[in-house]
Structure 1
Amino acid sequence: MKNLFKQTLAIAVIAMSFSCSEEFLDNTGVAGESQPTASFTSADAEQATLTNTNIPAAFVNGIYAQMIQAGSGGTDLNHDDFGQKGYDIYGDMLCGDMALSVSTYGWYRADITEFQAPQDFTRGRNRMVWRYYYRIVRSANNVIASLGGNDAVPEIDENKYAMGQAKALRAHSYFYLTQYFQKEYVPNEAILPLHIEPDTENKPKSTAEEVYNQMEADLTDAISLLDGFNRASKNQVDQNVARMIYAYVLGAKGGRWQDVADLTNDVITTTNHTMLQPAQVTVVPADGTSNTFNDVNFTNNWMWGIDITENNGLGLVSWWGQVDAFSYSYAWAGDYKAIDANLYAAIPANDARKGQFLNDPANGRHLQPLLKFAASGTIGGDSEVVTADYVYMRIEEAYLLNAEANARIPNEAAARISLKALLDLRVPSSAYVDTLTGQALIDEIYLQTRIELWGEGKSYLAMKRNKATVTRGSNHLSFVGQPIPYNDERMQFEIPQDEIQNNPFLSNQNQ
């Protein structure tokens, strides 16, 4: 499978090299002359070449490659700039579930854990988030345009599947933009420029309703277009991944919980993915050994993930380089990432997931995820080259989101069934769930989501869906004991300075 991804990545790079301007791959610009988002959309793709049915698929694989690309946020080179998983860390830290418990090198401390970026639009992390997601949008727009445009339905299956993936990826990026740049869904609030064509025109902000409507249209199309798609590897979005993205979008919007329940139920009942068994919840670090959380193909619960190879050129500047102590990493050398002490305390002693974290208060690595994430058998790693894989989505998410949606309808009986299906694989008895009703049931589902998906980039999304307030535990370096609500100014990024300066529609608008 690793060789397959290497081959498709090579095809994607070749395809992009003859079809796009240099600007397509280089968003860094010149200091003081950064270009606005609108100019990131290449209008000069050589679309005549796309009559070859293999080329659209290669273009889509190029988008997947950008999702793991160091520097894709426009820096040269911040060690927290490495694609989707980099912004998963941002979310986990902003919401407080991931603590920076030791900071020697300073990554994440000021801008993220001390909230300096969300309070200052001149800070570079705002620009990184903005540029990365709009870069994916621009690439998806090129693919969609090459296949006939937003309203087209390609006749050839390969082209239909390429179109479906591109639309799902565009919606996925707009979803994260809405989450990171709007406090909560307010339909008539102008939030983001909406680009759905490969043009170079600056645009004003569209309203949240307009952006969400576009995401829904894209994902409805994607689910239809991907019908019958048997993907070559898990790095590709298939129909059920598109359904899950749609469920997340509707969950963030709120109000349509029956649709969320239906989408996630479709995933649960049609997928061949199965949840982790109790013995798979913790890993035994071993050199050269695949495990639950470092190999996309080791277990059947990964719905979507990237099979990382040496050819991808990842090392210290990667998710593993920032989070995993068993890699050549900051998490080994002095920037420790740990589960929030309050969240750890909320995990029952008989819960298998408690064992994912080092419980040794006298050890500086206390509460690091040493038995959840492990790329090798050696603290500090046995190689500077990352080949451990990236997880984007697990089947457990479908059960948890289904439980949450049903609890909110409310269809509490169905909510308990989905929640207990997961808990029966984590604790000796899930019978206590039968006593939970109303807000207590919703709160328990939220807690289980935070525990199950810790470190995987989903806690921030759950915090916003649940309109939660999180109080940082004792192992954070700042704001210890402070309750921070989901809609606090410090929870959202600002539209970056260079975007405002270069887009006349934004230059006279308030943040």
Structure 2
Amino acid sequence: MKNRIFILSILASLGFLSSCSDSYLQEDYSDPTLISYDESTIRTNQDLQKFIRGLYSRLGTSSFSGDYFTYQELTGDLGFVSARNSGYFINTNAENHLVVDGGASSGIWSSLYNTISNANLILSYEGKVPDNPNGGVTSKALFAHAKVIRAYNYLALLGLFSPNYGEGDQSLGVPYSTTYNIEAKLPRETVPKVVDNVIADLTSSLADFESDNASAIFTNNNSFNANAIKLLLARTYLYKKDYQKAIQFADQVIDLGGELVGGGTNTGNTTFSTIFTILGENNPEILFQIEYNNIIPSNNNLQAYWGTSGAYKQNFMAKAFWDDFPSTDVRKSNVAWYQNNATTYPDDPKPINVKKYLNGPRDVILLRKTEAFFIKAEAQYHINPATAFTTLKNWVTTHRDQAYSKSLTGTAVLDEILRQKGFEFFLEGMRFTDMKRNNKAIVKVQKANNVPLGEIPVGDRRFIWPIPLSEIQTNPNIKQAPNY
């Protein structure tokens, strides 16, 4: 029964997708009881294509549709919940939401592992599905998509539920499996082992993507591709503290060109201010985005909760952080992604409106090229801070603020890298894990009126999220995070 439910969930999600160019998605699944999971569920290359599309649909209904981004910002230091709110996320805002019997960890844990389970089920057919006799994408290349999605989810789990690589108790990785077994009761794997497995999946998938046209069944960067995998490898090696490898893969992305450039010289869908609108969905800056449209809109956690345009209108950027950026910075002067217009709110100072994802059908960006510059700069900082600052300053003056004139050395370089990255990637799912990876205390820049202090000092238990109670109760082999 559980296997049947799993398959139906994939195909149900497929049923909500529509595209005039994807004829096989027009097939009738009106009688889903005819479909069950057995050794012949995925028989052909066409079957496999459907299930890979279903896996991407599952990714789009997971935490990456909204929750992951919101918790990254509200457990970080730059975002906050207004004094005028719906009651949602107020515990998160006060940094007391990480509890064993609920809170953020339960939903995100289940969501990411459900996606991994789906990927493992598909990969159980690896080597058993022939290529399409009429050509097209090979089955081997299609399976590479499932491996990348699995790796992406494991890396996200590590960032939240485990200590930094090489720090603390390295036995506190996350349960890791490459087989589909819903009855498995797995212990934590070590952090190094999970990281190495992630790298192995990404590396083998990159080879398949480069040898076969693995992304040919997708458009508009709505799937992983070779360049997106290179960025993920750079991100993973940065997490592993293999800084030379991180720089190597970051450079491969930087060398592509086409990254987002500020100013008013661009036209059409490459305009700086439009990247987070529907007009910007084809922007060459984007490497991977989850597809949403008028039929299958994104989870409302972003559109509804952030800024003044949604239903709840309660989550914002800290005013002091906004004020810290000069008017010559195009992210501020062009009013592209943020705007100082939440003047009717009771907060003092008034919050900064976030103008990302104001339209539910707009695809949600998960990977874009500009991150490679920050990965490179952070990796260089650990080798030579002066070189890192040169990289950062060149990027800022070329792409964001021609008047940028700071001169920094030592630890101030890392602080500036994180400052610039916080402004660039606010609400894109990075702030909490960036602070954690660099052992920075989280001190809220702004809180709602009368909200108690909620700082997370370096070494605090809340940098490692707790294993949910449901997992503890059903899995006797799992080890809880420290001090929960």
Q: Which TM-score applies when normalising by structure 1?
A: 0.77
C-alpha distance after superposition, 1:438-492 (max 9, x if no partner): 3222221111111111111111222122221232123445766765335422333
CA RMSD, Structure 1 to Structure 2 (Å): 3.5
Q: Retained in 2: the 8 A contact 1:472–1:479?
A: no
2:287 aligned partner:
303
The counterpart of 2:123, out of the listed 121, 126, 144, is 144
The counterpart of 1:125, out of the listed 94, 98, 104, is 104
The counterpart of 1:248, out of the listed 220, 228, 235, is 235
2:90 aligned partner:
109
Equivalenced residue count is 446
> Which AA in structure 2 matches 1:320?
Q
C-alpha distance after superposition, 1:78-126 (max 9, x if no partner): xxxx54431111111101221112343111112x2223331x2011532
Q: Retained in 1: the 8 A contact 2:55–2:115?
A: yes
Question: In the aligned structure 2, how far is the partner of 1:242 from the partner of 1:482?
Answer: 36
Q: Retained in 2: the 8 A contact 1:102–1:337?
A: no
> Which AA in structure 2 matches 1:426?
R
Q: CA 1:507–1:430 in structure 2 vs 1: closer, same or farther (change >3 Å)?
A: closer
Question: In the aligned structure 2, how far is the partner of 1:225 from the partner of 1:106?
Answer: 47
SS at match of 1:102: coil
Q: Retained in 2: the 8 A contact 1:12–1:58?
A: no
Deviation, 1:258, is: 0.6
Whether 1:278 aligns to 2:263 is: yes
Which segments of 5 or more consecutive residues in structure 2 lack a partner in the other structure? 1-16
Deviation, 1:20, is: 7.5
2:247 aligned partner:
261
Deviation, 1:49, is: 4.1
1:367 aligned partner:
351
Counterpart mapping for 1:369-408 below 5 A? 369-375=353-359, 386-408=360-382
Q: Retained in 2: the 8 A contact 1:467–1:485?
A: no
Q: CA 1:174–1:372 in structure 2 vs 1: closer, same or farther (change >3 Å)?
A: closer
Whether 1:455 aligns to 2:437 is: no
Deviation, 1:497, is: 0.8
Question: In the aligned structure 2, how far is the partner of 1:117 from the partner of 1:399?
Answer: 33
Q: CA 1:406–1:318 in structure 2 vs 1: closer, same or farther (change >3 Å)?
A: same
> Which AA in structure 1 matches 2:292?
I
1:238 aligned partner:
225
The counterpart of 2:79, out of the listed 98, 103, 123, is 98
Deviation, 1:277, is: 2.6
The counterpart of 2:145, out of the listed 165, 168, 171, is 165
Return 449-458 or 480-489, whichever deviates more: 480-489
Deviation, 1:139, is: 0.9
1:417 aligned partner:
391
Q: Retained in 1: the 8 A contact 2:466–2:481?
A: no
Q: Which TM-score applies when normalising by structure 2?
A: 0.81
Q: CA 1:484–1:430 in structure 2 vs 1: closer, same or farther (change >3 Å)?
A: same
Deviation, 1:358, is: 3.2
Q: Retained in 1: the 8 A contact 2:171–2:191?
A: yes
Return 394-403 or 437-446, whichever deviates more: 437-446
Q: Retained in 2: the 8 A contact 1:358–1:371?
A: yes
Whether 1:499 aligns to 2:483 is: no
Deviation, 1:5, is: 8.8
C-alpha distance after superposition, 1:421-443 (max 9, x if no partner): 344221132443xx333322222
Q: CA 1:301–1:419 in structure 2 vs 1: closer, same or farther (change >3 Å)?
A: farther
Return 83-92 or 306-315, whichever deviates more: 306-315
> Which AA in structure 2 matches 1:462?
D
Question: In the aligned structure 2, how far is the partner of 1:8 from the partner of 1:360?
Answer: 45
User: Percent of pairs identical after alignment?
Assistant: 19
Q: CA 1:475–1:8 in structure 2 vs 1: closer, same or farther (change >3 Å)?
A: farther
Q: CA 1:268–1:486 in structure 2 vs 1: closer, same or farther (change >3 Å)?
A: farther
SS at match of 2:81: strand
Q: Retained in 2: the 8 A contact 1:100–1:338?
A: yes
Q: CA 1:449–1:154 in structure 2 vs 1: closer, same or farther (change >3 Å)?
A: farther
The counterpart of 2:324, out of the listed 304, 323, 346, is 346
SS at match of 1:67: helix
